Amino acid sequence: MLLSALTALFMALGYTLGGSGGAVIALLVAAGMNLFTFWNADRIVLSMHHAREVDATSAPEFYNLVAELAQRAKLPMPRVYLIDEPHPNAFATGRDPQHAAVAATTGLLSMLSRDEVAGVMAHELGHVRNRDTLIMTMVATIAGAISMLANFGLFFRGGHNENGHSNMVATLLAVIVAPFAAMIVQMAISRTREYGADAAGAEISGNPRALASALAKISGRAEMIPNPVAERNPAAAQLYIVPVHVSELFSTHPATEKRIAALEDLAQDMGAPVITQRASALSPAPAPVTPLKRKSSALDPLRRDRG
């Protein structure tokens, strides 16, 4: 319903700027963007982040952890990617569970414990299971198109109004109001899906407090460490598990404190144990070239710190 409202807003802006013909053109452009995004969302997002695909050989700990979580969630095995960035974050993309991909930065893997990484990746698989990944990209595409159309309207409609001053006022109102309304709808969609993915991630990992601990750790660091992709394209911020460089008022995510509180309530309902010890972080480095002497299973427990 919210996505339909966003598309209707796009058409209304087209009608204001170009009459009935403008609305038809806006509808055709919106449909074209939706179809293009449907088939190419994952490739666009992964290419934008310079993500590299990994497998059980190149990143065994991380890949096997995702495989274990996907099995618990009863999802097809997604493609797994690493992003060589110190910025701690993760996201999921793809048009459906059969074509999904999950990605995490090396900064996130080196910062969190194994259980916390499991909570984060379970959250991303929750997006996949909830079919959020397609909606995220489509919303960003249409919202960006509304802003672009509004900016063009200032130049191309403003100088050729036929009804004088009143037409110019209507155009100015449309140009100002439409992007703001699109932002409100985008935030409503994004904030709702984050709570849903948190709940799904807690269910998949079985440890809501680990996800809460991860959110607490990475939320502060995500605001301090630069994210070049989000700086070039602010619309990408809605893809991440935590927001970057934005205030709560204009964030596409709920406040981290509220998400942690909701996870704590969920942990009490589930009877989840309190975290009393820290497991070792996953190594983001590629697997050693020399073969290991001992034979290990793909689902062996991850290594822990000594002592």
pLDDT in tens, 197-221: 999 999 999 999 999 999 999 987 8
Phi, psi of 306 (to 5 degrees): -70, 145
Is the pLDDT confidence value at 247 over 50?
Answer: no
Domain for residue 43, yes or no? yes
User: What is residue 105's DSSP assignment?
Assistant: E
End-to-end, the C-alpha distance of the chain in Å comes to 53
pLDDT of residue 155: 62
Is the pLDDT score of 269 beyond 70?
Answer: yes
Q: pLDDT digits over 138-179, tens only?
A: 776 677 667 667 766 666 554 444 444 446 666 666 677 777
**pLDDT at 286 exceeding the cut of 60:** no
Write the pLDDT tens digit of every residue in 95-132. 889 999 999 999 999 999 999 999 999 999 999 999 88
Output the CA torsion sign for 166, 172, 175, 177: negative
Residue 89: both structure tokens together: 């974050």
pLDDT (average), residues 275-288: 54
Q: How far lies 170's CA from each of 12, 158, 292, in Å?
A: 12, 10, 70
> Catalytic amino acids?
124
How many domains, in total, are found in the chain? Answer: 1
Q: Alpha-carbon distance 173 to 229, whole Å?
A: 31
Is residue 48 included in any domain, yes or no?
yes
Does some domain include residue 281?
no
State the pLDDT at residue 272: 64
**pLDDT (average), residues 21-32:** 72
Region 26-39: mean pLDDT is 74
Residues 6+ positions from 251 with CB-CB distance below 8 Å: 187, 243
- Residue 44 neighbours by CB distance under 10 Å: 14
Q: Are 108 and 120 in contact (CB under 8 A)?
A: yes
- Sequence-distant (6+) residues with CB within 8 A of 120 are 90, 104, 108, 112, 201, 211, 214, 218, 241
303 lies in some domain? no
CA angle 3, 9, 246 (to 5 degrees): 70
pLDDT, residue 158, reads: 47
Range with the largest mean pLDDT of 24-33, 37-46, 57-66, 244-253: 57-66
Query: What pLDDT is attached to residue 173?
Result: 65
Instruction: Name the residue range of residue 256's domain.
Output: 2-270
Q: Is residue 284 part of a domain?
A: no
pLDDT of residue 12: 77
Q: Is 235 exposed, middle or buried (0-12, 13-18, 19+ CB in 10 A)?
A: middle
Asked whether the beta carbons of 109 and 86 are under 8 A apart, the reply is: no
Q: What is the pLDDT of residue 244?
A: 66
Q: What is the pLDDT of residue 198?
A: 95
State percent of the chain over pLDDT 70. Answer: 69
Strands 90-93 and 101-105: antiparallel
Residue 139 token pair:
């919303």
Instruction: Supply the mean pLDDT for the chain.
Output: 77
